[in-house]
């Protein structure tokens, strides 16, 4: 093996494998145009091709694939939500995630490490008990754990009682996991492109053409195309793209800032989060601690960082893991979170008949990537809204029927 690798490395004409379709010219017409080549858009294209045999599909991306929130999230996968609708939906996503590497024949580095959410007061303990009951009823592994169990699960945690917010209990979610976020997008892109889907990077949508209440054209920086239908999957820009189709959404877009430390030897296995301290962390497989928090205090279409947020992240994480006091911050960044009033997504039909929404992904988009793609593909292919996403339709706000997941975020926002 090493010898053949060396020979291969020294050969001049190395056989290169193209993972995705080259950027060919745009065709005049596509049956389905997907706006946004992030995880959700690419997963939708993948399932359209694999489950429904629909391959005359273009995925349009203004930058490069996976360059938006797919690259900016903290790669947390979990299903320990609060409502029956939410738990059932994210539970199916985890099932798909578990088999993705096999299905793609491409390693997405899925690691089931468990997630521990910390309670620092009685109200949080009550809500954790509620979540544990709902989760267990729906077949999701969640349980309330005491301080002794926490010490066994995560011995590195600071369980002192003379801190600002002592830890009183935890919600242990054995199904909690992480994966390499870029690889998820690449795996879906590769699988979709191999089946004939066209990926068009550096192709920004600049307008949506309508006639008789239907979308019939999409204007791009590389020319106009006609289309059978459009799926929008542009987390961070949902309101701006929907506005091109004349659709107003219940979304405010906030930055969410995160950072990673220098790498350490493996010492923290599960994912740990504290809604009260507005912080969550896990150690990546290359040893860095990823530290994320809540969204910024006010909306902004800008991925700039602020010292205030970084200071508060650092102060909070030091309360949980004091040994990080000497750690150096290697990188920091921000993504744009499309926050909905109930912290649930907006999926399914829109007021425009052949324009489908996959929006409002706030801080919960990465974990939902597989199931969102599968459900959106089913909707586009069959015209029927899958039961799993019926509760997340845009109309729920007009019916005053929200799916409240505000209590189930890893860090309150």
Cβ within 8 Å of residue 263, ≥6 positions away: 286, 287, 288
Q: Is residue 35 near other proteins by the rule CB under 8 A?
A: no
Q: Is residue 246 near other proteins by the rule CB under 8 A?
A: no
Q: Is residue 315 near other proteins by the rule CB under 8 A?
A: no
Output the smallest distance, CB 398 to other proteins, in A.
5
Q: Is residue 240 near other proteins by the rule CB under 8 A?
A: yes
In the beta sheet, which residues pair with residue 359?
A: 346
251 or 320, CB closer to other proteins? Answer: 251
Stretch of 94-102, 192-200, 373-381, 395-403 lying at the interface with other proteins (CB under 8 A): 395-403
Q: Is residue 207 near other proteins by the rule CB under 8 A?
A: no
- Tell me the C-alpha distance between 413 and 294, whole Å: 5
Please report, to the nearest 10 degrees, the dihedral formed by the alpha carbons of residues 400, 401, 406, 410 taken in order.
-150
Q: Is residue 302 near other proteins by the rule CB under 8 A?
A: yes
H or E element in which residue 252 lies: strand 252-261
Q: Is residue 251 near other proteins by the rule CB under 8 A?
A: yes
Q: Is residue 248 near other proteins by the rule CB under 8 A?
A: yes
- Tell me the C-alpha distance between 212 and 193, whole Å: 33
Among 42, 184, 249, 375, binds other proteins (CB under 8 A): 249
Per-residue interface string for the shown chain with other proteins, residues 340-359, x marking contact by CB under 8 A: -x------------------
Output the smallest distance, CB 118 to other proteins, in A.
25
Tokens 């000497």, residue located: 326
Output the smallest distance, CB 148 to other proteins, in A.
38
Please name which of 55, 52, 60, 57 lies closest in space to residue 23, comparing C-alpha atoms. Answer: 60
On the 0-12 / 13-18 / 19+ scale of CB atoms within 10 A, 187 is: buried
Q: Is residue 232 near other proteins by the rule CB under 8 A?
A: no
23 or 401, CB closer to other proteins? Answer: 401
Output the smallest distance, CB 346 to other proteins, in A.
11
74 or 237, CB closer to other proteins? Answer: 237
* Farthest CA pair distance, the chain: 67
Looking at 322-410, which runs of residues are DSSP E strands? 329-339, 346-349, 355-359
Number of Cβ within 10 Å of residue 351's Cβ equals 14
Q: Is residue 401 near other proteins by the rule CB under 8 A?
A: no
Output the smallest distance, CB 243 to other proteins, in A.
8
Q: Is residue 397 near other proteins by the rule CB under 8 A?
A: yes
The tokens describing 156, both together, are 């590195």
H or E element in which residue 280 lies: strand 279-283
Tokens 């093996």, residue located: 1
146 or 308, CB closer to other proteins? Answer: 308
CB 369 within 8 A of CB 71: no
Tokens 């199904």, residue located: 175
198 or 393, CB closer to other proteins? Answer: 393
Q: Is residue 398 near other proteins by the rule CB under 8 A?
A: yes
Among 207, 213, 297, 383, binds other proteins (CB under 8 A): 297
298 or 326, CB closer to other proteins? Answer: 298
126 or 304, CB closer to other proteins? Answer: 304
94 or 249, CB closer to other proteins? Answer: 249
H or E element in which residue 117 lies: strand 115-119
Cβ within 8 Å of residue 111, ≥6 positions away: 177, 178, 179, 285
191 or 250, CB closer to other proteins? Answer: 250
The tokens describing 347, both together, are 């999926």
Output the smallest distance, CB 278 to other proteins, in A.
14
**In which order are the strands placed within the sheet that holds 271-274?**
142-145, 169-173, 115-119, 271-274, 279-283, 289-295, 252-261, 329-339
Q: Is residue 298 near other proteins by the rule CB under 8 A?
A: yes
Q: Is residue 300 near other proteins by the rule CB under 8 A?
A: yes
Among 308, 353, 382, 383, binds other proteins (CB under 8 A): 308
Size of the site for other proteins (CB under 8 A): 23
134 or 241, CB closer to other proteins? Answer: 241
DSSP code at position 237: S
Query: What b/e string do you get for 272-283 counting C-beta neighbours within 10 Å, with b at 16 or more?
Result: bbbbbbbbbbbb
Q: Is residue 325 near other proteins by the rule CB under 8 A?
A: no
Contacts with other proteins, residue ranges (CB under 8 A): 239-240, 243, 248-253, 297-302, 304, 306-308, 341, 397-398, 400
């Amino acid at each position: 093996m090493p010898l053949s690798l060396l020979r291969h490395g020294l050969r001049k004409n190395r056989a290169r494998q193209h993972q995705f379709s080259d950027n060919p010219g745009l065709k005049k017409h596509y049956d389905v145009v997907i706006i946004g080549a992030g995880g959700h858009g690419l997963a939708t294209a993948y399932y359209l091709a694999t489950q429904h045999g629909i391959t005359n599909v273009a995925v349009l991306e203004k930058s490069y694939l996976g360059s938006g929130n797919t690259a900016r999230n903290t790669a947390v996968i979990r299903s320990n939500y609060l409502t029956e609708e939410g738990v059932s939906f994210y539970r199916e996503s985890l099932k798909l995630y578990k088999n993705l590497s096999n299905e793609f024949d491409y390693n997405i580095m899925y690691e089931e490490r468990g997630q521990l959410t910390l309670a620092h007061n009685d109200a949080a303990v009550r809500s954790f008990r509620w979540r544990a009951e709902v989760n267990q009823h729906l077949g999701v592994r969640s349980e309330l754990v005491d301080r002794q169990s926490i010490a066994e699960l995560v011995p590195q945690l600071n369980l002192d009682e003379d801190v600002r917010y002592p830890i009183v209990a935890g919600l242990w979610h054995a199904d909690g996991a992480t994966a390499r976020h870029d690889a998820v997008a690449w795996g879906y892109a590769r699988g979709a492109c191999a089946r004939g889907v066209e990926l068009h990077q550096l192709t920004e949508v600049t307008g949506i053409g309508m006639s008789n209440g239907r979308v019939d054209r999409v204007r791009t920086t590389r020319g106009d195309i006609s289309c059978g239908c459009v799926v929008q999957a542009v987390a961070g820009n949902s309101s701006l793209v929907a506005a091109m189709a004349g659709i107003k959404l219940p979304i405010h877009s906030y930055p969410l800032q995160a950072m990673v430390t220098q790498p350490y030897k493996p010492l923290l296995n599960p994912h740990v989060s504290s809604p009260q301290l507005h912080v969550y962390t896990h150690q990546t497989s290359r040893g860095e601690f990823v530290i994320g928090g809540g969204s910024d205090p006010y909306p902004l279409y800008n991925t700039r960082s602020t010292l205030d947020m970084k200071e508060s992240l650092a102060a909070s994480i030091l309360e949980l893991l004091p040994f990080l006091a000497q750690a150096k911050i290697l990188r920091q960044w921000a993504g744009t979170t499309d926050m909905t009033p109930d912290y649930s997504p907006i999926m399914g039909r829109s007021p425009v008949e052949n324009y489908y929404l996959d929006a409002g992904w706030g801080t919960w988009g990465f974990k939902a990537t597989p199931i969102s793609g599968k459900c959106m593909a089913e909707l586009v292919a069959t015209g029927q809204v899958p039961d799993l996403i019926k509760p997340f339709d845009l109309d729920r706000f007009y019916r005053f029927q929200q799916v409240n997941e505000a209590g189930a975020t890893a860090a309150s926002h």
